[in-house]
Structure 1
Amino acid sequence: MNSINPRLRIGELDALRGIAAVAVLLFHFTSGIAKNWTFHLYDPPFQFPYGGAGVDLFFMISGFVIFMTLDRAKSAASFAVGRFSRLYPTLWACAVITLLVTANFGLPGMEVNSGEALWNLTMLPRFVRARMIDGVYWSLEYELLFYVAMLILHLLGAFKKHTVPVLLLWLAAAAAAHGILTHLNAESLVYRLTGKIKAVTSLDYIHLFGVGMILYDSHRRRAWSAGHSLVLLVCGAIAWWKAESQLHFALVLAFGLLLHLATTGRLPFLNAKVLVFLGAISYPLYLIHQNIGLILLNALGAVTTSAWMRLGVTVVAMVLLAWVISVCIERPSMKWVREKMKRLTERGPPSPQHSADA
């Protein structure tokens, strides 16, 4: 079976990232205020209760993109450097900016000490029970651990011919872990061990990552098999089991369909300039919007009584801030790190004579 062109880029994926980021942003500035904060900022002009499910779409996209990236990567090192350059410099910049703003203007309940702040820079603050600089950082841990698991499985050759069996085993482990953590005594050894294993093996969200992975596998093989259908059915069953409501489950199904249509070229409108722009800034927009946005929403109360005006100004301001971070930090740092890696690779190891002379 012929694979897809290795240089092919699916632009619609970037647009979906932008849509997911905006959905999360609108949730945090509307329904999320009452859900996540004990103090009153303002009365939102409308409710957007399921915008937080945009993270589910992010995870599906990651399943597709990370599988695709590994499939095309020249080496494990190039994959690791690519992910590092994509994620860490922008995280560090957004974390520092958020710390400075919250330190100067305050956001009750979001104070962190210096040690906790440093742990946030690893993307794994919850491993040492450190408070997060911004609540949105919770998803980064799951993304990072998924990347590590994918790289290990890729190096073991698990995805060359065995994608479906590997995914089914991964999903079975997720279902077993969910059952144990739902029904067993929290004090039992099995419960505690399961919680630790689940934390480092992406079991919480593999049913979402798995949707993207199986869609990419069919994409690269240019064929759909019974095994692909079985994986999707299992992903759907776990999503139904874990969904907060019937509407949440319906959204997960809709996201899976949306990803399929987008990656098969059936949604050309996703290439609209505004969606491409939002996709380009989606990562810094996701990282920077919540705490700083809430501070701005609160401050605007001294300027206007219009909830629509406060929300509109805040959304525009967060988009502009994310764009500045993308242009000034995200893209240059990504380019610098990858070019540095390329030069080191092209230079190669020093010759024995050169090494001895050194």
Structure 2
Amino acid sequence: MDALRGLAALAVVLFHYFDHYDRSHDHVTEPLFYIPWGDGGVQLFFVISGFVIFMTLQRAQRPMDFVVSRFSRLYPGYWAAILVTTFTVQALEVDYYQRPMLDVVLNFTMLQRLSFIPADDIEGAYWTLYVELWFYVAMLALFTLRLLRHIEAFLLLALGVSWAWWAGEYWGGSGFWGWNLTTSFGLVFGQIPFFVIGIGLYRLHMRERPSMALLVILAALATIPVQHPFELLAAALVAIAAFALILTGRAGFLRQPVLVWLGAISYSLYLIHNYAGRSLILRLQDDAGWSANASVAAALVASLVLATVLTYLVERPAQRLIRRWYASWRSHTNRPRPVVVKAS
């Protein structure tokens, strides 16, 4: 599954370096290839998150277990990536990707897309983290209220919210729901079907009400082509096929060492590749006269190396440190206090 996440990250990277770069700057020479479907890797991330997060909640004993698990997974690497991206675009003097310092500071919250926070993403790929964060909040609420046993009903309700949002925008225009709600939650509502598929796949895998799980998966698949471009339905179907291979033990080819490594660094790679990598491509093409393919190759190698460094020197050590501290704190607070007996 980590290897699958790594392939999704690589697809997004190549999409940003080839297709999306051309939209902003134009390559100086024609690239070797384009992958217009590469942005579908994001939706594959969401399907994987739906599967993994529900699995994580099944193992959690208390809400704080889940909070610490997700915080330690998301925030340390994210904070490091903010610093790397900010420093890189400043050092390469690419004004197009620079953001005010207030935006940089507010991005540390990961809540910069809320309408009342005066900041933009300092990195275009960060919108997906905001979506994931709200998915975690919703799942944490269900876990805290002990409603996960009714998860299929809530998944269908969530799909209903997605349909209502889409219908309002389709017939009433992009401002139908109001600027505040659209700015803060429009992206979140649109990605609901992909998380639903991931949770449904987990329920199928665990044989927990499989008929209902299949129903919510089919409902999500019926939702995607109406609300999104057709290639995102293809991404969802690819995700389902990949999970079918993994869960039936037929995905041994994904255990190749290079794919395992790519999966291990996928989060850091996703966080630091975009604006920093595209800034490097711009400088190599405009100042050094490199071809599109050579500049993209250099940016890809630099991103892979830097992602590896961040993963093994920042992301994973910080994750272990936070979780060890939490385990120590839990053991201390759960330790029975000695009973004081007054002698007569």
Q: TM-score, normalised by structure 2?
A: 0.90
How big is each residue's C-alpha offset from its partner over 1:144-195, in whole Å with a ceiling of 9 and x where there is no partner? 00001001011222222x222221111112111111122125565xx22993
* Maintained 8 Å contact 2:7/2:259: yes
- Counterpart contact for 1:23–1:52, Cα < 8 Å: yes
Following superposition, the deviation at residue 265 of structure 1 comes to 2.2
Shift of the alpha carbon at 1:235? 0.3
2:123 counterpart of 1:134? yes
Does the CA contact (< 8 Å) of 1:304 and 1:310 recur in 2? no
Aligned to 2:139, which of 137, 142, 150? 150
Q: Equivalent residue for 1:236?
A: 221
Deviations 1:15-40 (A, max 9, x none): 111001000000001011123x1x34
Assess, with a 3 A threshold, how the Cα gap between structure 1 residues 206 and 194 changes in structure 2: closer, same or farther.
Answer: farther
Give the 5 Å matches for 1:149-168.
149-160=138-149, 162-168=150-156
CA distance in 1, matches of 2:163, 2:245: 27
CA deviations over 1:105-139 (Å, ceiling 9, x no partner): 12233222222111111111111251211111111
Match among 250, 259, 268 for residue 234 of structure 2:
250
For 1:108, the equivalent position in structure 2 comes to 95
Q: Distance in 1 between matches of 2:319 and 2:338?
A: 34
CA distance 1:198–1:240, shift in 2 (3 Å): farther
Give per-residue Cα distances to partners, 1:80-102, cap 9 Å, x unaligned.
01111111010100101111111
Which residue of 2 is the match for residue 210 of structure 1? 196
Q: CA RMSD in A?
A: 2.4
Q: Superposed, which structure 2 residues align to 1:48-197 within 5 Å? A: 48-127=35-114, 128-160=117-149, 162-184=150-172, 191-192=177-178, 195=181
Contact 1:239 1:249 in 2 (8 A): yes
**Which position in structure 1 is the counterpart of 2:244?**
260
Distance 1:196 1:134, change over 3 A: closer
Hey, what does 1:5 align to over in structure 2? Answer: none
Contact 2:6 2:262 in 1 (8 A): yes
Task: Tell me the CA shift for residue 344 of structure 1.
Answer: 0.5
Percent pairwise identity: 36
Q: Report the counterpart of residue 341 of structure 1 in structure 2.
A: 326
Using a 3 Å threshold, how does the CA distance of structure 1 residues 193 and 152 change in structure 2: closer, same or farther?
Answer: farther
Within the alignment, does 1:14 sit opposite 2:16 as a pair? no
> Aligned partners of 1:311, 1:343: CA distance in 2, in Å?
45
Identify the residue that residue 323 of structure 1 maps to in structure 2: 308
Residues 41 and 294 of structure 1 are in contact (CA less than 8 Å); yes or no, is this contact kept in structure 2? Answer: no
Q: Say which SS state the counterpart of residue 106 (structure 1) adopts.
A: coil
Residue 339 (structure 1) shift: 0.4
Work out the CA distance in 2 between the residues paired with 1:224 and 1:185. 38
Rounded Cα–Cα distance in structure 2 between residues aligned with 1:81 and 1:310: 40
CA distance in 1, matches of 2:186, 2:72: 22
TM-score by length of 1: 0.87
Distance 1:73 1:349, change over 3 A: closer
1:184-241 Cα distance to aligned partner (Å, 9 max, x none): 25565xx22993598189422110000000111122236732x222211110111011
Q: Could you tell me how far apart the structure 2 residues matched to 1:197 and 1:163 are?
A: 27
For 2:206 and 2:300, locate their aligned partners in 1 and report how far apart those are by CA, in whole Å: 38
Deviations 1:251-287 (A, max 9, x none): 3222222223223322111111111100000000000
The 1:325/1:113 distance shift into structure 2, 3 A limit, reads same
Contact 1:86 1:334 in 2 (8 A): yes
Deviates more, 1:275-284 or 1:250-259: 250-259
CA contact (8 A) 2:28 2:291 kept: no
Is residue 266 of structure 2 the alignment partner of residue 282 of structure 1?
yes
Counterpart Cα distance in 2 of 1:267 and 1:297:
35
- What code does the residue aligned with 1:123 have? M
The whole-number CA distance in structure 2 between the counterparts of 1:158 and 1:278 is 36
Give the SS at the match of 2:190: coil
Deviation per CA, 1:313-336: give whole Å up to 9, x if none: 221111011000111101110010
1:213 maps to a residue whose letter is I
Q: Distance in 2 between matches of 1:327 and 1:264?
A: 31
Q: In 2, are the aligned partners of 1:64 and 1:213 still within 8 Å (CA)? A: yes
SS at match of 1:284: helix
Q: Give, in whole Å, the separation in 1 of the partners of 2:145 and 2:241.
A: 30
Deviates more, 1:246-255 or 1:148-157: 246-255
- Going from structure 1 to structure 2, the CA distance change for 1:171 and 1:262 (only over 3 Å counts) comes to same
Give the whole-Å Cα distance in 2 for the aligned partners of 1:200 and 1:343. 40
For structure 1, which runs of at least 5 residues remain unmatched after alignment?
Answer: 1-12
